[in-house]
Amino acid sequence: MTLLSRQGRLPQQRARARTRADGLDAWLTGLSQDELLALLREQVDQDRNVRRRLELRAAGARGDLAEVRTCVRELLDIGPFAQHGYVEYADARAYGEQAEQAVSAITALTAAGRAGDAIDLSREALRHLAETHEQVDDSDGLLGEVAAGLAEAHLDACVAARPDPDDTARWLVGQALGDLGDLIDIDPFDYEDVLGPQGLATLRESAMAAWRDNRTGWAEKYLVERLAKKGGDVDAVIAVHAAYLAPDGSTHLTIARELDAVGRQGEALSWAERGLAEAPGSADMSDRSLDLIDYLCTRYAQARSLSRSSSTTRTSMPPGRPRPEPEPTTLSGSPSPTSPAPPGPPTHSVCTCGWPSS
């Protein structure tokens, strides 16, 4: 009942809040410049946060990199909020709100024509967050929002300054595979215009080099697969999956579906059959193994339906017209011993695009 009564008063409360806001705006508008300055100075003297916010904005507008860097480091320092080296939930919001001011400072640098400096400072700030975010109880996700703001400020600065594409590509790969990846997912393709063809090539090469060094790493595998899919390189996607084939056949099924999606059904069926052959016996089969069996059953049913449809078409041909001789097959649909054996599953030794595989 208390909640319902409060909800009934919400329209009046909102109306009073709008009235107060309009009244404040009208009063401020009526003040002279000297009166506004006096009021602002009074607030600066009384409120440390207001002072810091305005000092930071002024330094950014002047393009004073040293002062902005000092302020940003202070804003991201967890020291004043931490107890025994950890920021508890009760203090995390205050820290997050303070850290948000760093985004405004870096954005102001770009607006002041110092985009190159903004790039360096945003990277430094993101690195600091990556190193300290585990020391903060960020249950509300505020640090993730700060990281997203810093990433956006970095992208805007890159668009303005057009930094070296190779350096930018390597930085992006480092962020995707480093501690920052736990806090925010920076999409490398947001930088496509900044990187250009040269930077995109370096991006793929750097990602592939990282994957070669750690083929079982989830982050490396995901990044390479993501880049390959964006580039339409199915062979590279398959090469990444084929580097580690799960014993339950689930990886074979993933490869089969990737091949199906680009119309390479024959190769898809070969991979699925290989996965079933290498999967454990029925007593040890997992749900993923059963998914593989379902896939094969569907494929065989489709083949049987197509075969019946073809037989119906042949029997309905006009008399006297020669019928094409069918390929001799066994009951399962595989070639008979008199036919040449089908090629084995694709090995993907080298992709035509230059992506090495397993």
User: Same domain, yes or no, for 44 and 118?
Assistant: yes
User: Same domain, yes or no, for 48 and 145?
Assistant: yes
* 224 falls within a domain: yes
- Give the predicted TM-score (pTM) of the model: 0.69
Kind and range of the H or E element at 301?
Answer: helix 287-315
User: Same domain, yes or no, for 292 and 352?
Assistant: yes
* 55 falls within a domain: yes
What total of structural domains would you count in the chain? 3
- Residue after which a domain boundary falls, among 188, 211, 231: 231
* 334 falls within a domain: no
pLDDT of residue 53: 77
Q: Exposed, middle or buried: residue 80 (CB in 10 Å: 0-12, 13-18, 19+)?
A: exposed
- Residue after which a domain boundary falls, among 115, 142, 162: 162
User: Same domain, yes or no, for 35 and 136?
Assistant: yes
* 358 falls within a domain: yes
pLDDT of residue 310: 64
* 104 falls within a domain: yes
User: Same domain, yes or no, for 189 and 279?
Assistant: no
Residues of the domain holding 108: 29-162
Judge contact between 225 and 240, C-beta under 8 A.
yes
* DSSP state for residue 307 in the 8-state scheme: H
Residue showing tokens 């999956």? 241
**3-state class (DSSP) for residue 297:** helix
Kind and range of the H or E element at 277?
Answer: helix 265-278
User: Same domain, yes or no, for 156 and 37?
Assistant: yes
- Residue after which a domain boundary falls, among 122, 142, 162: 162
* CA distance linking residue 133 with residue 111, whole number of Å: 28
pLDDT tens track of the chain, all 358 residues? 554 556 667 788 888 888 888 898 999 899 899 989 998 899 888 887 788 778 877 877 777 888 889 989 999 999 999 988 899 999 999 999 999 999 988 998 898 899 999 999 999 999 999 988 899 999 999 999 999 999 999 999 999 999 999 999 999 999 999 888 778 889 999 999 999 999 999 999 999 999 999 988 999 999 999 999 888 889 989 998 998 888 888 899 999 999 999 999 999 999 999 988 887 665 455 666 788 889 999 988 888 887 777 666 555 555 554 554 544 433 334 443 333 333 444 443 333 333 433 3
pLDDT of residue 13: 83
* 16 falls within a domain: no
* 349 falls within a domain: yes
How many CB atoms within 10 Å of residue 127? 15
DSSP for 85-127 reads TBB-HHHHHHHHHHHHHHHHHHHHHHHTT-HHHHHHHHHHHHH
pLDDT of residue 312: 61
User: Same domain, yes or no, for 41 and 124?
Assistant: yes
* DSSP state for residue 356 in the 8-state scheme: B
User: Same domain, yes or no, for 79 and 114?
Assistant: yes
Judge contact between 208 and 241, C-beta under 8 A.
no
* 319 falls within a domain: no
What six digits make up the tokens of 287? 């749900």
Residue 335 phi, psi (nearest 5):
-60, 145
User: Same domain, yes or no, for 211 and 271?
Assistant: no
Contacts of 288 (CB under 8 A, 6+ apart): 246, 248, 249, 250, 253
User: Same domain, yes or no, for 58 and 180?
Assistant: no
In angstroms, the Cα distances linking 63 to 58, 75, 108, 113, 298 are 9, 18, 8, 8, 65
pLDDT of residue 337: 38
User: Same domain, yes or no, for 76 and 175?
Assistant: no
User: Same domain, yes or no, for 63 and 158?
Assistant: yes
pLDDT of residue 183: 84
* CA distance linking residue 351 with residue 358, whole number of Å: 11
Judge contact between 258 and 234, C-beta under 8 A.
yes
Q: Which amino acid appears at position 211 of this protein?
A: W
